[in-house]
Structure formats: C-alpha cells, structure tokens
C-alpha cells in the first residue's frame, strides 16, 4: 500500500481488500456484511480545484442538472481559479450557477488552497482547511479526503446512508446520530474509509432486498 510514515493511502483494489479483511477479522457483523456484498469498489477520484468545484455545483440539484451545468462550465473552461474570477457573476450565471453557488465558486477560487500540500496533510488538517471555504461542509471535505486523496482512516459520520446501514447491521433501535457514529466508527480505525465503503454497499444491498424505512 502507498503510505507515508503517518498517513495510510488507499491506491488499489488490493488496498481496499486488505482493509475489508482486517475489518472482517475484528467484527463478525462486518464480516457478515462483506460476505453479502462481495468485493468493494476502489472509488478513487481526481483531486484538485475542479473536483471541489464540481462538488459545489452538485449541491442540492439533481444529477442530471449538475451534469448539465458542469458540462457548460467545462465547455467554457470555467474549471480553474483564474477563469472563475475572470468570468464574474454574469459569466458564472450564464453557465447555470445560482447566486449562492457563484459566491461559493468565487470563494473557492480566492482561497489559494495548495492542493499539492493537501496530498501530504493528515486528514484532520485537510478537513479543517477545506471547511474554511464557504460552500464546503464537513461531508464534502470528508468525501474529498476519502476518495480524492485516498485516506484510509476517514469516515463521513453525518452521512444518512451510513447511519442507516449501521442501524440495520447492528440491530440498533434507531438511526445513530453523528456523535454516536463517531463512537461506533472509532472501532474501525485504521480502516474507517473501507468501513464506509462496506456500509454503503450494505445499505444498497439491504435497500434492494427489502426497502429502507
């Protein structure tokens, strides 16, 4: 596995499989879930400004709308800080951004984030830096650390699907809240990102099998 002395990075499907095996060895219920859902996806994504901008574009709109807007932005070369700032409000509005998302895009462009430095930073620092930018919440920052940077030990504690999957898997009386998920997920370190992949897969499996209440 690619790693530094401090940060474990998921780079290949074999890394994900190693994490799933370790989780299965420590928790029978995770082992049961893994047996049901099979190999887990790598789900690595690009990193950098455009990936975060795309996440902002996708907020609170349908997948089809997000894809259409992002396609217009790509066609207009509005995927880097300089062009975003040069386009002004009118140029970004013409691409389909709302007033709020125009502000978020411009704030991201002005933030001066060193994406090279983020690759070497611990996950907590990545999340702290990203969430200082308006329009980037904790969930978006966690997903970026997990899939764009490949951190092996990050978990999206506020994700409703993960919470519901934990409820189903552990027969909990109700869906755990974010602080409860932090306590539950602490047992899955140093493979919390793989646990998230497993729970998302388990959620999908259970939803298809019997529906999610």
Structure confidence by residue, pLDDT tens digits, 61-100: 899 999 999 999 999 999 999 999 999 999 999 999 999 9
* Mean pLDDT on 185-201: 97
How confident is the model at residue 211, as a pLDDT? 42
* Mean pLDDT on 195-203: 97
Tracing tokens 């998230």 back to the chain, one arrives at: 196
Our measurement of the distance from residue 53's CA atom to the centroid of its chain's CA atoms, rounded to an integer in Å, reads: 14
How confident is the model at residue 183, as a pLDDT? 96
Phi/psi for 202 (5° steps) reads -65, -40
What band does 38 get if pLDDT is binned at 50, 70 and 90?
Answer: confident
* Mean pLDDT on 122-149: 96
Residues with Cβ < 8 Å from 106, sequence gap 6 or more? Answer: 84, 85, 92
pLDDT in tens, 163-181: 999 999 999 999 999 999 9
Query: How high is the mean pLDDT of the chain?
Result: 93
Overall pTM > 0.95: no
The Cα 151–Cα 133 span in angstroms is 21
Positive/negative CA dihedral, 152, 125, 167, 170: positive
What band does 207 get if pLDDT is binned at 50, 70 and 90?
Answer: confident
């Amino acid at each position: 596995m690619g790693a530094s002395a401090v940060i474990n990075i998921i780079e290949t499907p074999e890394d994900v499989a190693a994490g799933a095996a370790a989780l299965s060895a420590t928790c029978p219920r995770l082992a049961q879930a893994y047996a049901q859902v099979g190999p887990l996806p790598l789900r690595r994504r690009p990193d950098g400004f455009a990936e975060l901008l795309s996440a902002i574009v996708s907020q609170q709109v349908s997948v089809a709308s997000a894809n259409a807007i992002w396609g217009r932005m790509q066609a207009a070369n509005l995927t880097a800080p300089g062009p975003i700032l040069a386009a002004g409000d009118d140029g970004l509005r013409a691409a389909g951004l709302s007033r709020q998302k125009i502000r978020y895009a411009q704030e991201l462009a002005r933030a001066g984030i060193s994406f090279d430095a983020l690759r070497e930073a611990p996950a907590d620092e990545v999340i702290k830096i990203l969430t200082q930018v308006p329009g980037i919440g904790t969930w978006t920052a966690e997903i970026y650390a997990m899939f764009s940077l490949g951190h092996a030990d990050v978990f999206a504690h506020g994700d409703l699907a993960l919470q519901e999957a934990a409820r189903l898997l552990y027969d909990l009386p109700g869906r755990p809240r974010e602080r409860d998920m932090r306590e539950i997920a602490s047992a899955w370190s140093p493979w919390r990102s793989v646990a998230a992949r497993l729970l998302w897969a388990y959620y999908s499996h259970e939803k298809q099998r019997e529906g999610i209440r």
